[in-house]
Amino acid sequence: MQTAAFPFLLVYVLRRCWRDAGYLRGLAERFGFLPRRYHRTASGAVWLHAVSVGEALASLGLARRLRQEMPWAPLYVSCGTLAGRALAEEKFAGLALVFHAPFDYAFAVRRILRTLKPAVVVIVETEIWPNLFRETVRSGGRLVIVNGRISDRTAARYRRLRWFFSAALGHAAAILVQSPRDAERYLAAGAPPERLRVAGNLKYDFEPREAVPPAAVARFLDAVRPRAVWIAASTMPPAQPGDPDEDGVVIEAFLALRASHPGLLLILTPRKPERFEAAAEKLERAGVRFARRSRLEADAAPDAEALLLDSMGELGGLFRFADVVFMGGSLASRGGHNILEPAFFGKPVIAGPHMENFAAIAEEFGRAGALVRIGSAGELAAAVGELLASPGRREEIGRRARECAEAQRGAAERA
């Protein structure tokens, strides 16, 4: 079957390289060829697979614990996306060697396993690759899933394809999931019950003091001196007909608010790098004076009303400056994004109706009065404006959010 599918893989690779020349970098690694410095002559290594930016950030605390507990064990981190790889190279510097995850073809996976000789392969969240799972066990290594989760959107598919996923999950020596709900869904997908346990969410182990704001952004804020800062985090495009474009919604809400809240600064952060240019065009068409993070070193912009954060991995360091945060992916049908980082800074977060990817966290925060939920794009401006006008309410919601986040620490220790 894989032989028959190989031509389609080549077509996929060619299309990716044509659309983004950056995909060529590290392409050999995707076929299993690692640089010479990765070659091992002894066993005992740990291979940590974190597919993209969110998983890489979540697993950073675990990687540090592994380095403390087993300083003698080589540590490797693989990522599936270009953005994840770039972030991991920065965040895991001095901790681990980073590479692109191989395609899930037996020949590529085997070549990586022969090179690294891992004693343990750690899969972060929901990356179920049958060949990787099977070949890890065949090579004599153990496979562990940590921070496992199955979203509301994908639960039915996992249950329907139980015959496929149960074979792969049977290779895992341990499966550590985020919540009891995730445990139920892994069981429905065919996970062996004796290897399954609830261990919490690694994202609760985020350390605010380690999220340092970029110096160029700090200088920009000193020059602009905003009266209030609204961060629109990880905004997303429509996922299906009828969905709003979150960049457009945020810009429209900002235009409605800036007259009543002079000195308000918007920090707009699109989720995907390929959307940075489109966001810049929307800001220009709306007549919003803005600066781009990528050009702060060259351009002074003391009259800017907005900052377009066209960079990756820097958002976490900016939440400390926020008065209000809107979490993207929650108005469009994208399942939402992680609200824990702003919560650790004690910031009030607004989210739309779609938080399926973080349902347990959103429900817990909602019960505690630690999250503001809105039902549609039309409610965003009013929700932001109400919080900006109510310092006491902002502080109270932020305090509750920080308490909720800090109460759930310890997942990295358990893993």
Residues with catalytic roles: 55
Cα(342)–Cα(202) distance, rounded to whole angstroms?
15
Task: Return the pLDDT at 212.
Answer: 82
3-state secondary structure (DSSP) of residue 108: helix
User: Quick check: 226 pLDDT over 90?
Assistant: yes
Residue (of 292, 327, 316) closest to 306 by Cα position:
292
Compare 6 and 325 and report the one with higher pLDDT. 325
Task: Return the pLDDT at 4.
Answer: 60
75-90 pLDDT per residue, tens: 999 998 888 888 899 8
| DSSP output for 220-276 | HHHHH--SEEEEEEEE---SSTT---HHHHHHHHHHHHTTTSTTEEEEEEESSGGGH
Task: Return the pLDDT at 83.
Answer: 84
Task: Return the pLDDT at 77.
Answer: 95
Under a CB-based contact definition with an 8 Å cutoff, are residues 329 and 351 in contact? Answer: no
User: Quick check: 400 pLDDT over 90?
Assistant: yes
Split at pLDDT 50, 70, 90, the class of 15 is: confident
User: Quick check: 64 pLDDT over 80?
Assistant: yes
267-319 pLDDT per residue, tens: 999 998 889 999 999 999 999 999 999 998 766 677 899 999 999 888 989 99
Q: Which of 21-30, 63-72, 256-265, 321-330 has the lowest mean pLDDT?
A: 21-30
Task: Return the pLDDT at 41.
Answer: 64
Under a CB-based contact definition with an 8 Å cutoff, are residues 243 and 333 in contact? Answer: yes
Give every CB contact of residue 152 below 8 A, 6+ residues apart in sequence: 335, 356, 357, 359
- 8-state DSSP, 379: G
In the chain, what percentage of residues exceed pLDDT 70?
96
Round the average pLDDT of the chain to a whole number and report it.
91
Cα distances (Å, whole numbers) of residue 13 to 82, 127, 269 = 13, 20, 28
Task: Return the pLDDT at 7.
Answer: 66
Task: Return the pLDDT at 133.
Answer: 96
Cα distances (Å, whole numbers) of residue 311 to 83, 86, 198, 219, 284 = 10, 11, 34, 16, 19
336-350 pLDDT per residue, tens: 998 999 999 999 999
| DSSP output for 202-216 | GGGG--GGG-PPPHH
Residue (of 61, 58, 99, 57) closest to 82 by Cα position:
99
Residues facing residue 123 across a β-bridge? 49, 145
User: Quick check: 8 pLDDT over 70?
Assistant: no
Cα(339)–Cα(316) distance, rounded to whole angstroms?
11
Measured over the CA atoms of residue 331, residue 332, residue 336 and residue 339, the dihedral's sign is negative
Per-residue pLDDT, averaged over 162-174, amounts to: 95
Measured over the CA atoms of residue 300, residue 305, residue 311 and residue 312, the dihedral's sign is positive
Split at pLDDT 50, 70, 90, the class of 5 is: low
Cα(42)–Cα(204) distance, rounded to whole angstroms?
34
Compare 171 and 358 and report the one with higher pLDDT. 171
Cα(315)–Cα(342) distance, rounded to whole angstroms?
10
Per-residue pLDDT, averaged over 319-325, amounts to: 97
98-151 pLDDT per residue, tens: 999 999 999 999 999 999 999 999 999 888 899 999 999 999 999 999 999 998
Task: Return the pLDDT at 42.
Answer: 67
**What Rg value do the Cα atoms of the chain yield, rounded?**
22
What's the distance, Cα to Cα, between the start and end of the chain in Å?
A: 36
Burial status of residue 250 (CB atoms within 10 A of its CB: 0-12, 13-18, 19 or more)? buried
For residue 277, count other CB atoms closer than 10 A to its CB.
Answer: 12
Task: Return the pLDDT at 217.
Answer: 93
Split at pLDDT 50, 70, 90, the class of 22 is: confident
What are the two backbone dihedrals, phi and then psi, of residue 98, each rounded to the nearest 5 degrees? -115, 145
- The first and second tokens of residue 155, run together, are 């639960």
Q: What angle do CA 30, 31, 34 make, to 5 degrees?
A: 75
- The first and second tokens of residue 249, run together, are 């919604």
- 320 sits in the region (left: phi over 0; alpha: psi -120 to 50; else beta) called alpha
SS3 content of the chain, % helix, strand, coil (to 5): 50, 15, 35
For residue 180, count other CB atoms closer than 10 A to its CB.
Answer: 10
User: Quick check: 9 pLDDT over 80?
Assistant: no
Under a CB-based contact definition with an 8 Å cutoff, are residues 167 and 130 in contact? Answer: yes
User: Quick check: 398 pLDDT over 70?
Assistant: yes
Cα(364)–Cα(108) distance, rounded to whole angstroms?
42
